[in-house]
Amino acid sequence: MNKQMLMGLVAGIGVATAGGVTAYSFMGPKSAEQGSAVAIETPMDEGQAAVAPAPAPASVAPAAAARPAATQAPAPRPTVTAPVAQAAPRPTAAPAPVEECWDEEVTVQADPKDDKKIAGTAIGAVVGGAIGKDVGDRDITTAAGAAAGALIGRKIQEKIQDNRAEQRTITTIERRCGPPGSRPR
């Protein structure tokens, strides 16, 4: 997974969480204005106190009103009621990660600077051509010496690069991600 996809995934989770919190705040539990109340004690006379009951649910109120007036108890003095304080909504937990990520140490060999071995081939061709010209006066000996020198120069440079490649290793820490449980142990 590349960096841009991971950033998009994290941004999407953030937007979804923000939308959920917003929806919960609008459609969450009942507010204080929807029927919850607390009775508060108020002194009636010296040394006496009366507690006003919390308002009855709507289904009980009509039954009390249907009783005849003679059987009803005298009306209590009016009391002050305050709405119940609502607790702040609990933050929702983030969804479980879709991926598990870990840091992994990666060792790679550095690429040679001259991977096509042009320098060895060119130097070998020049040296081989000079030796071929000294051996014989013909152009064919010069060309054969250049070809042999190019082949030998290329092989020499290949051996030198192989020996140095063992010394030129680069170790980096890379972030790897995969499905949960895919992390190597």
Mean pLDDT per 10-residue interval, the chain, length 185 residues: 78 82 69 49 50 49 49 64 70 76 87 85 94 88 95 93 79 89 81
pLDDT at 18: 79
In terms of pTM, does the model score above 0.85? no
pLDDT at 127: 95
pLDDT at 36: 47
The 3-class SS string of the chain reads CCHHHHHHHHHHHHHHHHHHHHHHHHHCCCCHHHCCEEECEEECCCCCEEECCCCCCCCCHHHHHHCCCCCCCCCCCCCCEEECCCCCCCCCCCCCCCCEEEEEEEEEECCCCCCCCHHHHHHHHHHHHHHHHHHCCCHHHHHHHHHHHHHHHHHHHHHHHHHHHHHCEEEEEEEEEECCCCCCC
pLDDT at 73: 62
